[in-house]
Structure 1
């Protein structure tokens, strides 16, 4: 799977960068490097990587700001990003996901755990697109064009939010637990914290629900979430 796939590693710690390059290349990936935020943005434009492994603490421009800027640009809005944080604290992980990262991993980490996250994210974003359109109420998803609208308004969704909405659209009205959503959207072969689901649900709500529109993501206390509207 890794053949010809390029990972941009944005890391200012030389020893860690060397370790990551060695292990990623051993796993079959092509590796590009950047040592600070501005260089990362330049390298993304130049190399068009398949995934960015982005350190939070960078000189000149933080990883969070790099992530924000990449998400604002149409050409990199769907670029898979894994944020590397310095501490395994809830606030750090939630902030990384809120900024637009698809996943996060805290230092120090096992290389095999990182490789598993990379492969899982690439599988999610690189899987062949399902055919046909999905509609529910005023939401329409064109899966061939990878375009979603609500009441004619184009929705800007990250890759994980897109897959979440696609899953909900295929099962409208049904309540899914966080564990079920993790299995369906993230996959069974990788550990992701349950709070990750809540962060992405919040991002999906923000993208789908404009001012004055009904909230179409219903929270069911102690049960999970559903594509539904309170009546």
Structure 2
């Protein structure tokens, strides 16, 4: 089976775990961090299934499921990964089209059983297109989201999962000044209190990791936040 599965999550560790499980079954996996990306990927990539991480209590799991079903016209299998759901919400999700709900701690056998049901239901000789890798490029930096990989000037940049998410926010809109508050909202769990100074510390780690392979490209805007330079200046080289 050489089909694509889209994984909607902002948890890089979870994505890597699920991708490993899927690849052992011959299934390609792509990641979508935001609902807009997921909607576009469903409409253009024709995946065989979508795995939704609804562990965050601030996520409207029911609404997200409905969006997936609308984008796919109902012709897609959907599994939800969660910490806990009430019995009522579980029934509502199944009614909205969720095919499987998998609770933490995640049991790989449940995911494999879900995939086997998909394989059995696929028309003979009919294989959906694989999900494309999501890649962001700016100046001499390339981020491959599906592979959770950052490269600068041909050299791999080692970042933690949190630092990867922070750099990804900057790469998505390099010319925008991202406030510390926005970065906290996008990159940390909503139920954790994070001081703005913590953002500065992690940006510093990212800056040092990138600077090993090129001049400083992260721009600090006093009292505002961070953005990326259009390109490193000649004086910095």
Higher relative contact order (Cα pairs below 8 Å, separated by 6+ residues): 2
Give the TM-score category using the shorter length: 0.3 to 0.5
Q: TM-score, normalised by structure 2?
A: 0.46
Higher-Rg structure is: 2
